Each structure stands twice: as structure tokens, then as C-alpha cells.
């Protein structure tokens, strides 16, 4: 597979009136243990927002005969903490998820993006992915898609932060993480 962006330094300069949606997957993982999430911070997503994230994930998984994910309130709370920290201290840029035990898909939109359209943009990377040889087309990224459909991933939790500029930062966390180097997602 093509290497994934390792630290998500996607340019976020926004031209006037041009809507931009930038994507980022956590770097590929070597094998390592995944601790449990603990703590219970405030949720920033309600049941219908959860479904807006979950349904398109599970549609993409069903399309390749992979079992559905279940929603994790703990992962959603962890995602909310990270997204709100990025919003307060990080100028709403992508979080560096390189040290996280979880898979992480991020989306940054220059506008108030709905959960469903962010997940759709991740899933759309699948057009560049060839399962037969587990390869991403040259010059493309497939990591957000392969995390969405990663068979061993069982649960997901997501959150969004609305930034001062009206932009939206979206973060989904996945447990166990996907995108293990050299492995096929399904
Ligand atoms: C729940 O989430 C949905 C989808 O994001 C949103 O439209 C709705 O306003 C939210 N409801 C509450 C009570 O926060
Ligand atoms: C993988 O398969 C696709 C579709 O057949 C092909 O275009 C691509 O060159 C292949 N990549 C490698 C590394 O074999």
C-alpha cells in the first residue's frame, strides 16, 4: 500500500468561498497491545449523531462482507476530548494520533460538515484501493477507507468540533486499530 500521511500536515489554507474537505488516517501500525479506554468525559455526540457516523461505516463494511461496528461511548468521549483540545489549543488542525493505541480517521472541512459527508469522504478513498493485491493507486491515499472496513476493528466512537472560522474538525477512533502494515483489511 502507499504510505499514509504520518503526521497529517495537510495544507488548510482556504480560498474564499471554496469548500475544502481534507482527510487524514493515523499512520500504519506495527503490532502492539491495545489498552482499554477509561474515564467518562462529556459526550459531544447524541444518539442520532452516533447513527450518522455509524450507518455509513457499516454500509461500507457490508459492501465488502465485513461485520458491522458497534458504537463506543468511551471512544466517542475520548474523540470529543481530543477534538475539543485541538479546537482550543491546536487551531483546529488535525491531532497527531501517532502515539494513540486506537485507529484514527480525521476530517477537516472549511464548513459545517455533517458526520455522514465526512464518513462518505473517507469511504470514497476506496475507489483507489485494489483488494486483490492490497494496493492503493499511486499518488492516492486509502488509509481512511481501509480503517473503515478493517475486519478486526469492532467498535468506533466519533466527535466533531466546530472551529472559530466555522470549520469542522471530525475525529473517529477505532478499537482495535486497523491499518497494520502488510495486512489486508479484510
Ligand atoms: C443530535 O445530533 C443531531 C445530528 O448531529 C443534531 O441534528 C441534533 O440537533 C442533536 N440533538 C441534540 C439534542 O443535541
Ligand atoms: C494492483 O492491481 C491493480 C488493478 O489490477 C493494478 O492497477 C495495480 O498496478 C496493481 N498493483 C500492484 C503493486 O501490483
- Answer for the pair 149, 167: CB distance below 8 angstroms, yes or no: no
- The pTM of this model reads 0.82
Measured from the alpha carbon of residue 142, the closest ligand is 2
**Angle between helical axes of 115-124 and 47-63 (0-180°, round to 10):** 20
Ligand 1 pocket, residue 46 CB under 6 Å: yes
Pocket of ligand 2 (CB under 6 A): 130, 132-133, 135
Express each pLDDT in 70-110 by its tens digit: 999 999 999 999 999 999 988 899 999 999 999 999 999 99
Ligand 1 pocket, residue 41 CB under 6 Å: no
Measured from the alpha carbon of residue 55, the closest ligand is 1
Express each pLDDT in 17-29 by its tens digit: 567 888 888 877 7
Q: How many CB atoms lie within 10 A of CB 94?
A: 22
Strands 70-71 and 155-162 come out as: parallel
Amino acid at each position: 500500500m502507499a504510505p499514509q500521511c504520518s503526521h497529517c500536515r495537510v495544507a488548510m489554507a482556504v480560498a474564499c468561498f471554496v469548500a475544502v474537505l481534507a482527510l487524514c488516517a493515523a499512520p500504519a501500525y506495527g503490532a502492539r497491545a491495545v489498552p482499554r479506554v477509561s474515564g467518562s468525559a462529556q459526550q459531544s455526540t447524541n444518539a442520532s449523531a452516533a447513527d450518522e457516523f455509524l450507518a455509513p461505516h457499516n454500509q461500507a463494511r457490508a459492501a465488502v462482507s465485513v461485520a458491522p461496528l458497534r458504537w463506543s461511548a468511551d471512544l466517542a468521549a475520548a474523540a470529543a476530548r481530543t477534538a475539543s483540545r485541538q479546537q482550543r489549543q491546536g487551531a483546529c488542525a488535525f491531532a497527531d494520533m501517532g502515539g494513540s493505541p486506537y485507529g484514527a480517521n480525521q476530517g477537516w472541512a472549511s464548513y459545517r460538515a455533517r458526520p455522514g459527508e465526512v464518513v462518505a469522504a473517507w469511504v470514497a478513498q476506496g475507489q483507489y484501493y485494489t483488494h486483490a493485491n492490497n494496493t492503493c493507486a499511486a499518488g492516492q491515499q486509502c488509509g481512511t477507507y481501509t480503517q473503515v472496513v478493517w475486519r478486526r476493528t469492532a467498535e468506533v466512537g466519533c466527535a466533531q468540533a466546530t472551529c472559530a472560522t466555522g470549520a469542522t474538525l471530525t475525529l473517529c477512533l477505532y478499537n482495535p486499530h486497523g491499518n497494520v502494515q502488510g495486512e489486508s483489511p479484510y
